[in-house]
Structure 1
Amino acid sequence: MAAALLVFMLSYILHPQLEVLALATSSDHDFSYMKSVYNATDLPLEDVYDYIIIGGGTAGCPLAATLSEKYSVLVLERGSAPVSYPQVLNANGLLTNFLQEDNGKTPFQRFISEDGVPNARGRVLGGSSMINVGFFSRADDQFYNESGIDWDMDLVEKAYQWVEDTIVFRYNLSTFPSIYRKALLEAGVGPDNGFSLKHLVGTKASGSTFDDQGRRHGAVEFLNKGVLKNLRVAVEAYVEKIIFSSSNNASRLSATGVIFTDSKGKTRRASIRDKGEVILSAGAIGSPQLLLISGVGPVPDLSSLHIQVVHSNPDVGNFMADNPRNTISIVVPFALDPSVAQVVGITGDFNIIEAISFNLSFSFPLPFGLFPNSTSPLEFSVANIAEKFSGPKSSGSLRLLSSAEVKVSPAVRFNYFSEVGDLARCVKGMRKVGDLLKTESFKQLKFQDLEGAEGFKFLGPPLPKNQSDDASMETFCRSTVGTFWHYHGGCLVGKVVDGEYRVKGTNSLRVVDGSTFNASPGTNPQATLMMIGRYIGLKILHERKAAK
């Protein structure tokens, strides 16, 4: 039982550059946006807006704030506001988030992929930016070059700066991140890039959405930068379907609104005005799922579920990918202050290694042979080191189950390591983690037994002793694979949406979230998702102004 609990806990931990930096100033939480937040039960049965955004998450909030500068915006969020989940607002609540039972009223929704890997989706206003470990780093150059988007890089820069000036912080490294940073450099993960928000090969500290008091400042705070009188944010609102219509003089279907239900099951309808749009920002699971439910997708799959096909597109729900995560956890022989992700190592092979520290306490005998003569209760510190690589070649798909209900999670398969090259990349990355264990800096993390011999105490599976053996390392990679929660795909640019994120074959419908990515950007995608929300909002405002 104890061993099972620890394995369960570990499956969810971490699974939570400007030349002139203009970062946010530490401050208390600003809940001004709550003036525009309503429970869906309080909304009219029918209403009209310029823009309807499905999903008030990492991209949806900055997008909504930007569009509200000129137009009326309705945001439909299935979760509640962060004030309903106080633990998401502070770094001390990270572990609590992951260990909570998912009773349908938590800030995340758990699901298990068909690969058997536990995963989670944000279910709170602010999205997954409210439940992650806060690491903030910009996209890599390869993301821009291979995204299928003709980027306006000046506008990209302005959008990033708008984000960073609002919720990104820099603070001094705590004990374990300082040790970890030195170990990375000793292990050859260079150069030393100091502090940078850019994605750079080597070792660096980066920004965080936690301030120096441990307060989280997620995407929800962008709503404060909008025009609140133009914003209506409905929480506990489940969008059931996108409404389409066609006319004799239209060459293709147009999205005209949505049907959604409130927490009491009552149905409501929201429509868009002329020149307005419905914008999906429901995430890499929610957006393809809702397109399929609304009749946009592969004809055979939709027909088998008796869903009326409004537009055939065989690529909706395909090319789902996830960055595989492999970790080791080390029990530390001295007390550590808990730390969120502050330092990253990026190798020349683009393996990405991050680390956090946390404290655990137990009131029962410890498993895995840890401290066999100890008596409970016991509290100890753990250093968790996680490796991933972005842009896996392995991919899978998302499909609806027998039910077309939006509240029923679709079936998702990522096919981790189905491509041989991905497995080789994991082996390279975990060998570099092995190099960390051999550094002088990490010697202080070892225990000394009664005979004076030193060694690490691992919580969970250790690396193979013979790390030069490919078969052993491949087995480790396969047996310990988890998620970094950086899954993406399902509505790829060039296949489901065009270079302006418009859904192909339709009018007045876009997808603006990670489902459009063919690779997860940078170290953590949240920075880029926030930037894209602002970027697309500004592009739309420019388009509307130019059309007048």
Structure 2
Amino acid sequence: MEGQFDYVIVGAGSAGSVLAARLTEDPNTRVLLLEAGGGADKFLIKMPLGMMKAMLKPELTWRMMTEPEPTLNNRRLFLPRGRLLGGSSSINGMVYMRGHSADYDRWAQKGCRGWSHSEVVPYFRRMERSWRGTENYGASGPLPVTKNNTEYLLHDELMQAVANAGLPVTEDIHAGAEEGASLVELTIDEKGRRASTYEAYLKPAMARPNLAVVTHALTRKVVVEDGRATGVEYEVDGEVRVAKAAREVILSGGSYNSPQLLMLSGIGPAEHLAEMGIPLVHNLPGVGRNLSEHPRVPLEFAANGPITFVNQLRFDRAARAVAQWYLFGTGPFARQLNSANPMLRTDPRLAQPDIQLFSNPVKLSAHLWFPGFVKSPEHAFSADVILLHPQARGWVSLKSADPHELPAIRLNLFDNEADFVTARAGLRLARKIYGTEPMAGLIERESIPGAEVQSDAAMDEHIRATAGTTQHPVGTCAMGTGPNAVVDPELRVHGLAGLRVIDASIMPDVPGGNTNGPTIMVAEKASDLIRGRSLPAVEKEAA
């Protein structure tokens, strides 16, 4: 099939795998899918708790780092992104959320017609195979959505503490008020295996004769002729090849790689491209701008005894848990570590939650141990505060015209007072929850940043010294109609024919929740946009 394609898709991640599978449902549509990484049929990827190691493996990730962050004491932040089939959906934490309904209505208000909540819900339903089995959720889609097994996670204690602190709890974060602490939902299948977009979408489609998948293929640039994208230039084993696209080239590299590839192709801010010595093909100043990411501020408590998930990491128990997962798809290694998923408002006057707590009965740095040989990790609770709607905006730019060199990234986290205000309020709210029974009775002390850190100035110092990310970057090829928009509401690159961007980079701002689910939704909806059709809108979800 080489050279004979209707669509060439760059990137087999959360969006690209979905697009390849959906477009090739038509046997007359020929698709080439290019992935810079390799396969995803690996033990650490399939076993859910393997995520703690998988995202640190150099062979599975793009090893990106930010530039020194001026508002975070000039620290450089680690930004691992999946470099394999399934992309970051093959190494992420598997948390499934749609995002708040107001997030999508805000997109529509910004001129992104067709992207309101009522118009995207049908695509969430189409992709879901939800454990809930209600009319609000999909029951037969390709993506399994299961509830977390909370044994060993002290879930009930945390939920009760939230309620006792006078804060909301909910059975379903996507229904009703869309706020409160809830059971976390996961993209894990019924056999206890990670449900990446590779497993759920791409792998079943790879037997189709009209789909070609090439791994270890680094795309160098989009080929543009007379104002139209006609194909891509890519490299495999040092050999440079060209693939032609009769209909469209689709970039699905994610919020860092997609703008990088546009700029390598001469599509982007004219002044920056001139600095890099890249001939200008199309001046598009918004490429690489508008980068938005959920900041994360750590908060930890030392447990008052050996009561946390560290007990399950004792070597003999861990070996048994791995065997249980492998044979039966059950046990403590077949799920996530999340105790619960609080989505809360720090101010009752707000229209929707502004923080999420990353609540775990263990540090993510915890390791296997065995008495007398390897010391046990500290028994601790983490309750990192995540800002759901940060004001900060960063950027992605080129370091050179070499496609092998990773881009320059600056997040600019906490470059404004509003985000500090939200983070401080979130830390105080998390302290309130963990200082309320029954959680209070399980805690010896606050270990990070420490109970003595109380003033705004001291909290700000803690934020600058420790804040990180949740690996939810969006916005660098933003959808819209203004001068800095990169794609239109049908995800076509402004001013060029035959070229779309379809991934998290098109989101005008970051949704209030984990972003893998929304990215898959974007690809589902885009596959219909490409084919000139759409699912009917849902006026209001049933309660």
What band does the TM-score fall into relative to the shorter chain? 0.7 to 0.9
Structure whose residues are more often strand by fraction: 1
Conserved 8 A contact 1:197-1:207: no
1:412 corresponds in structure 2 to 409
Determine if the alignment matches structure 1 residue 170 to structure 2 residue 159. Answer: no
Q: Which runs of 5+ in 1 are unaligned?
A: 1-43, 247-252, 365-373, 447-454
Listed one character per residue, the Cα deviations across residues 216-247 of structure 1 (whole Å, up to 9, x for unaligned) are: 1111121256472221111111100000011x
- The one-letter code of the counterpart of 2:293 is D
Residues 270-309 of structure 1: matches in 2 within 5 Å?
Answer: 270-273=243-246, 276-309=247-280
Equivalent position to 1:389, from 384, 387, 402:
387
| Whole-angstrom CA distance in 2 between matches of 1:441 and 1:213 | 33
Equivalent position to 1:310, from 260, 281, 290:
281
- The one-letter code of the counterpart of 2:14 is T
1:328 corresponds in structure 2 to 299
Distance 1:410 1:171, change over 3 A: closer
SS at match of 1:204: coil
2:449 corresponds in structure 1 to 462
| Whole-angstrom CA distance in 1 between matches of 2:208 and 2:63 | 29
1:81 corresponds in structure 2 to 39
Distance 1:513 1:436, change over 3 A: same
Determine if the alignment matches structure 1 residue 254 to structure 2 residue 228. Answer: yes
1:51 corresponds in structure 2 to 7
Determine if the alignment matches structure 1 residue 319 to structure 2 residue 290. Answer: yes
| Whole-angstrom CA distance in 1 between matches of 2:249 and 2:450 | 48
- The one-letter code of the counterpart of 2:99 is A
Aligned-pair distance for 1:505?
Answer: 0.7
Aligned-pair distance for 1:189?
Answer: 3.0
Equivalent position to 2:213, from 233, 236, 251:
233
Equivalent position to 1:341, from 319, 338, 342:
338
Which stretch of the first structure deviates more once superposed, 335-344 or 209-218? 335-344
Determine if the alignment matches structure 1 residue 492 to structure 2 residue 478. Answer: yes
| Whole-angstrom CA distance in 2 between matches of 1:342 and 1:258 | 45
SS at match of 1:378: coil
Determine if the alignment matches structure 1 residue 132 to structure 2 residue 103. Answer: no
Aligned positions, number: 465
Aligned-pair distance for 1:390?
Answer: 2.1
Distance 1:268 1:526, change over 3 A: same
SS at match of 2:390: coil
- Relative to the length of structure 2, the TM-score reads 0.80
Residues 493-512 of structure 1: matches in 2 within 5 Å?
Answer: 493-494=479-480, 495-512=485-502
Identity, % of aligned positions: 28
Equivalent position to 2:122, from 158, 179, 183:
158
Q: Which runs of 5+ in 2 are unaligned?
A: 70-75, 130-141, 313-331, 347-353, 535-543
Aligned-pair distance for 1:179?
Answer: 2.7
SS at match of 1:304: helix
1:450 corresponds in structure 2 to none
SS at match of 1:93: helix
1:436 corresponds in structure 2 to 433
Listed one character per residue, the Cα deviations across residues 66-112 of structure 1 (whole Å, up to 9, x for unaligned) are: 111121111111111111x3211112312212444x2xx22453423
Distance 1:394 1:159, change over 3 A: same
Determine if the alignment matches structure 1 residue 106 to structure 2 residue 55. Answer: no
Determine if the alignment matches structure 1 residue 398 to structure 2 residue 396. Answer: yes
| Whole-angstrom CA distance in 2 between matches of 1:289 and 1:430 | 35
Determine if the alignment matches structure 1 residue 474 to structure 2 residue 460. Answer: yes
